[in-house]
């Protein structure tokens, strides 16, 4: 029978399995065949225990399960429960609240915040700016919303944030378009694990403020802090003070996610929080994001919102959760350290890693390298210019073992 297409051309995409889920399935099949201990499955972007089971914070789940049924099953207001909108600002900034007008709107995770920002703050066909190493869904989100992603080089020759490349690209794009949305994922960048130092954030903000001297331009900095609670202590939030007292034509939107911080990936909860020197801009933000919510997923998950509100009004519960999170933070840190140390020993070059769930190994022919690694029972995700190894999902012992094998395969594939 001839094929009939129904999907409108702009929404047609080739099928096939998601690359990450595909590699994960193959790794699990291999584990069943030869034993979990003989397979290194570094594909999963969630924190796993050493035995491969999902790490779930008991303190979070216990409180969630204690919520009254109606608090879980009822709708939440479109913009989120008022007590959630208040708590999430505290959760986001900690002791580093920027000076300015602030508004928050609930979204289904950080992903929802990305969607609303792209949709509300750029025009169809516009470029959305991010770094050359980036989380794949940034591109998907740009595409499905009729925008396109443009990139600048994330690292300079000494492995620091490439402020020159950032400046050149923002300048160029702002010559061509009236508004610019910049997606900047730090700390604990996915996929490299880079975190901008406070001085690098200062340079970013100086660059943006300079470009904002043209009053006709609108610059929206989207700070994606999805992994912040796994990136050091409260001082890792200090850079957010730089989001205060900005020129009125600069708007900062911070994406807060409950997915990693509370190991609640599937509960789909987070918020977009805007900071502006102009009160009207924050009111406009609230109104347009509320309608964007209504026009897409309607509202967020009430139970998750109530949970966050409770945590930030119950000091004991908050402390208990922070304690439990510290255990997982240490686990992650030790795994990343083991991978870094073994990479150094094996002579394997990796992107500058500071914090977070992933380490990136730049290499040529990443698909071939990933395929060959699968023959050696190591599963990682092939990116355009390297491999993403999820230290979050692999034991310290396996993190220490993998780099030597990866190095050998990369050398073999590049004919060394
Ligand atoms: C860089 C980055 N931003 C945002 C998110 C959003 O996650 P969620 O939509 O679950 O909050 C993720 C999740 O993997 C991520 O890696």
**pLDDT tens across the length of the chain (416 residues):** 888 999 998 888 887 677 888 899 999 999 999 999 999 999 999 999 999 999 999 999 999 999 999 999 999 999 999 999 999 999 999 999 999 999 999 999 999 999 999 999 999 999 999 999 999 999 999 999 999 999 999 999 999 999 999 999 999 999 999 999 999 999 999 999 999 999 999 999 999 999 999 999 999 999 999 999 999 877 899 999 999 999 999 999 999 999 999 999 999 999 999 999 999 999 999 999 999 999 999 999 999 999 999 999 999 999 999 999 999 999 999 999 999 999 999 999 999 999 999 999 999 999 999 999 999 999 999 999 999 999 999 999 999 999 999 999 999 988 87
**Residue 58 corresponds to which tokens in the numbers above?**
């008991």
Q: How far is the CA of 110 from the centre of ligand 1 (A)?
A: 5
Beta bridge partners of 273: 104, 254
Instruction: Report residue 341: phi and psi, to 5°.
Output: -65, -45
The Cβ of residue 133 has, within 10 Å, a number of other Cβ atoms equal to 23
Using an 8 Å Cβ cutoff, are 293 and 116 in contact? yes
Q: How far is the CA of 230 from the centre of ligand 1 (A)?
A: 13
Give the closest residue (by CA) to ligand 1 atom 3. Answer: 226
Q: Is 215 exposed, middle or buried (0-12, 13-18, 19+ CB in 10 A)?
A: exposed
Comparing CA positions, the residue from 112, 105, 116 lying closest to residue 78 is 105
Ligand 1: which atom is nearest the Cα of residue 108? 9
Q: Helices (DSSP H) in 109-228: which residue ranges?
A: 109-121, 137-144, 163-176, 198-211
Q: How far is the CA of 137 from the centre of ligand 1 (A)?
A: 9
Quick check: CB of 249 below 6 Å from ligand 1? Answer: no
Ligand 1: which atom is nearest the Cα of residue 268? 10
Give the closest residue (by CA) to ligand 1 atom 7. Answer: 110
Give the closest residue (by CA) to ligand 1 atom 14. Answer: 45
Give the closest residue (by CA) to ligand 1 atom 1. Answer: 190
Compute CA distances 400 → 68, 216, 342, 391, 405, whole Å: 45, 53, 5, 10, 10
Quick check: CB of 47 below 6 Å from ligand 1? Answer: no
Q: Using CA atoms, how far apart are residues 327 and 371, in angstroms rounded to an integer?
A: 34
Quick check: CB of 270 below 6 Å from ligand 1? Answer: yes
Quick check: CB of 110 below 6 Å from ligand 1? Answer: yes
Quick check: CB of 191 below 6 Å from ligand 1? Answer: no
Ligand 1: which atom is nearest the Cα of residue 112? 9
């Amino acid at each position: 029978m001839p094929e009939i297409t129904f999907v409108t051309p702009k929404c047609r995409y080739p099928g096939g399995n998601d690359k990450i889920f595909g590699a994960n399935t193959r790794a699990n099949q291999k584990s069943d065949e030869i034993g979990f201990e003989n397979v290194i499955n570094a594909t999963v972007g969630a924190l796993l225990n050493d035995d491969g089971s999902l790490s779930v914070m008991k303190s979070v789940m216990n409180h969630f399960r204690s919520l009254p049924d109606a608090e879980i099953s009822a709708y939440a207001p479109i913009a989120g429960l008022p007590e959630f909108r208040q708590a999430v600002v505290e959760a986001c900034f900690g002791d580093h609240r920027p000076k300015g007008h602030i508004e928050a709107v609930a979204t289904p995770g950080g992903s929802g915040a990305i969607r609303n920002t792209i949709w509300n703050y750029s025009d169809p066909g516009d470029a959305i700016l991010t770094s050359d190493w980036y989380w794949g869904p940034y591109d998907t989100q740009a595409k499905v919303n009729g925008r396109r992603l443009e990139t600048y080089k994330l690292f300079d020759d000494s492995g620091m944030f490439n402020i020159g490349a950032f400046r050149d690209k923002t300048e160029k794009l702002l010559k061509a378009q009236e508004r610019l949305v910049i997606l900047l994922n730090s700390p604990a960048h996915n996929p490299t694990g880079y975190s901008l130092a406070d001085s690098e954030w200062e340079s970013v903000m100086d660059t943006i403020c300079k470009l904002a001297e043209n009053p006709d331009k609108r610059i929206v900095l989207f700070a994606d802090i999805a992994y912040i609670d796994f990136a050091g202590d409260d001082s890792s939030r200090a850079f957010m003070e730089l989001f205060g007292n900005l020129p009125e034509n600069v708007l900062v939107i911070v994406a807060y996610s409950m997915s990693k911080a509370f190991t609640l990936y599937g509960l789909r909860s987070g918020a977009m929080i805007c900071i502006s020197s102009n009160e009207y801009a924050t009111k406009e933000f609230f109104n347009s994001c509320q309608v964007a919510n209504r026009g897409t997923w309607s509202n967020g998950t009430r139970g998750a919102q109530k949970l966050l509100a409770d945590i930030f009004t119950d000091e004991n519960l908050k402390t208990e959760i922070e304690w439990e999170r510290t255990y997982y933070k240490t686990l992650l840190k030790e795994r990343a350290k083991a991978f870094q140390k073994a990479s150094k020993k094996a002579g394997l070059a990796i992107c500058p890693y500071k914090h977070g769930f992933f380490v990136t190994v730049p290499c040529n022919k990443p698909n071939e390298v990933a395929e060959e690694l699968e023959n050696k029972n190591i599963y990682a995700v092939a990116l355009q210019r390297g491999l993403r190894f999820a230290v979050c999902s692999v034991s310290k012992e396996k993190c220490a073992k993998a780099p030597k094998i990866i190095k050998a395969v990369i050398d073999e594939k590049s004919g060394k």
